[in-house]
Amino acid sequence: MDDPLLQFFSVDHLRPALRPVAEPFSGLPQKIAPTLSRNPERTVALRKLLAAEDCAVRARLYREPG
């Protein structure tokens, strides 16, 4: 593993119903990391992708108030 951040893109820990939401995000970091040198901007790119995955999963879990 080239970057410790890549471990957080695994979908194995998610319930089966949430995996299809997270899976599109899991492949992209594996393509980005090897093509860019390790630097602060690559780290930011991976972190933002991770944040987007988190938001997508939460969107699936979202329930309207009331």
Residue 34 maps to a domain: yes
**Overall domain count for the chain:** 1
Residue 66 lies in a domain: no
Using alpha carbons, list the distances in angstroms from residue 22 to 30, 40, 45, 65: 14, 24, 17, 24
| Domain limits for position 39 | 4-61
54 lies in some domain: yes
Compute the distance between CA of residue 56 and CA of residue 25 in angstroms, rounded to an integer.
Answer: 10
16-60 pLDDT per residue, tens: 999 999 999 999 998 989 999 999 999 999 999 999 999 999 999
Contacts of 33 (CB under 8 A, 6+ apart): 2, 3, 6, 42, 46
Q: Is residue 18 part of a domain?
A: yes
Per-residue confidence band for 3, with pLDDT thresholds at 50, 70 and 90: confident
Of the candidates 34, 13, 33, which has an alpha carbon nearest to the alpha carbon of residue 23?
A: 13
Give domain status of residue 52, yes or no: yes
More confident site: 1 or 19: 19
Q: Tokens 């299809």 sit at which residue?
A: 20
Q: Please state the pTM of the whole predicted model.
A: 0.85
